[in-house]
A and B are shown apart, each in its own frame.
Chain A
Amino acid sequence: MNRITMGGLACGLALLLTAACTSSGPSTDGPFGSTIQSSGGYCIPAARPGQFAYSGYEEFPNTGGKATIDKVRLVHPRHLRLVTAWAVQISSSIYSIGAGTGYPTMSAIEANAPGTPWGHRQRIPGAVVRHTHGQQLIDLVILVKTSGKFGTSTAIDVYYESAGTRYLLHFPYGFSVRVGPTC
Chain B
Amino acid sequence: MKLQQIAIGIGIGISALISASLLSAPTALATSHAHSPRSLPAWAHGSIKGAGPHSGVRLELVEWPSGSALAKARVGQKMRLRVLGKTTSSSSGSYTLRSGVTLSKGIHNLRVLARSSVAVGTFAFPRKIVRRGRALVAVAVNGGASSGPVTANIYMMALPKAEQLTARRHPSVCSPSFIVKTQDLGQKWVDIGGLYSIGIAKAKAQMTYSEGASTTIGIGVSVPFTNGSFTAGGTEAETKTGTEGFTPQFEPEENMQTKYDFVKVSVRFKGCRGSYTDAEPTEWATGQNEVIVVPPKAEHCGGKTPKGGTFTATDQKAGTFSAGVDLKKEIGINLSVQSGYNQNLAITLTMGKGGGHFCGSNHLPPKAQWVVMDQTQFGNPGPVAGRSHVKGQRASK
Is A182 an interface residue, CB under 8 A from the partner? yes
CA distance A183 to B364 in the complex (A): 20
CB within 8 A of B300: which of A39, A93, A114?
A93
CB within 8 A of A100: which of B306, B346, B350?
B306
Is A159 an interface residue, CB under 8 A from the partner? no
In chain A, positions 27-51 with a C-beta closer than 8 Å to chain B are 36-45
Is B366 an interface residue, CB under 8 A from the partner? yes
Contacting pair B367 A95 (CB below 8 A): no
In chain B, positions 320-366 with a C-beta closer than 8 Å to chain A are 341, 346, 350, 357-358, 363-366
1/0 per residue, CB under 8 A from B, across A90-114: the answer is 0001111111110000001101111
Contacting pair B312 A43 (CB below 8 A): yes
Quick one: given A98-B358, A112-B377, are A40 and B312 in contact (CB under 8 Å)?
yes
Q: How many residues of B contact A (CB 8 A)?
A: 33
Contacts of B306 in A (CB 8 A): 44-45, 100-101
Contacting pair A40 B300 (CB below 8 A): no
Contacting pair B366 A40 (CB below 8 A): yes
Contacts of A57 in B (CB 8 A): 302, 364-366
CA distance A38 to B341 in the complex (A): 8
CB within 8 A of B303: which of A93, A99, A181?
A99
Contacting pair B308 A181 (CB below 8 A): yes
Contacting pair B346 A40 (CB below 8 A): yes
Chain A's closest residue to B317 (CB) is: A37
Chain A's closest residue to B316 (CB) is: A38
In chain A, positions 130-177 with a C-beta closer than 8 Å to chain B are 172-173
CA distance A100 to B356 in the complex (A): 11
Contacting pair B341 A40 (CB below 8 A): yes
CA distance A180 to B313 in the complex (A): 22
CA distance A99 to B301 in the complex (A): 11
Quick one: given A40-B366, A57-B302, A182-B350, are A98 and B316 in contact (CB under 8 Å)?
no
CA distance A113 to B376 in the complex (A): 11
CA distance A94 to B350 in the complex (A): 22
Contacts of A45 in B (CB 8 A): 306-309
Is B144 an interface residue, CB under 8 A from the partner? yes
- Main secondary structure, interface of B, reads loop
Quick one: given A93-B364, A94-B299, A98-B305, are A38 and B315 in contact (CB under 8 Å)?
yes
Is B176 an interface residue, CB under 8 A from the partner? no
Quick one: given A96-B300, A99-B305, are A183 and B367 in contact (CB under 8 Å)?
no
Contacting pair B309 A99 (CB below 8 A): yes
Quick one: given A112-B377, A173-B366, A182-B350, are A100 and B304 in contact (CB under 8 Å)?
yes
Contacting pair B303 A41 (CB below 8 A): no
Is B104 an interface residue, CB under 8 A from the partner? no
Contacting pair A97 B302 (CB below 8 A): yes
Contacts of B309 in A (CB 8 A): 42-45, 99, 183
CB within 8 A of A42: which of B311, B346, B357?
B311
Contacting pair A100 B303 (CB below 8 A): yes
Is B19 an interface residue, CB under 8 A from the partner? no
How many whole Å from B143's CB to the nearest CB in chain A?
6
How many whole Å from A27's CB to the nearest CB in chain B?
17
CA distance A45 to B364 in the complex (A): 20
Contacts of A183 in B (CB 8 A): 308-310, 350
Is B187 an interface residue, CB under 8 A from the partner? no
Contacts of B317 in A (CB 8 A): 37
Is B314 an interface residue, CB under 8 A from the partner? yes
Contacting pair B303 A42 (CB below 8 A): no
CA distance A97 to B308 in the complex (A): 18
Contacts of B300 in A (CB 8 A): 93-94, 96
Contacting pair B377 A93 (CB below 8 A): no
Chain B's closest residue to A101 (CB) is: B306
Contacts of B314 in A (CB 8 A): 39-40
A-B contact pairs, 11 of them (CB 8 A): A36-B316, A40-B312, A42-B310, A43-B309, A57-B365, A96-B303, A109-B303, A112-B302, A112-B304, A182-B350, A183-B308
| A residues with CB within 8 A of B | 36-45, 56-57, 59, 93-101, 108-109, 111-114, 172-173, 180-183
| B residues with CB within 8 A of A | 143-145, 299-317, 341, 346, 350, 357-358, 363-367, 377
Can you list the 5 inter-chain pairs with the closest CB atoms, starting with the nearest? A98-B303, A112-B303, A182-B308, A98-B302, A40-B312
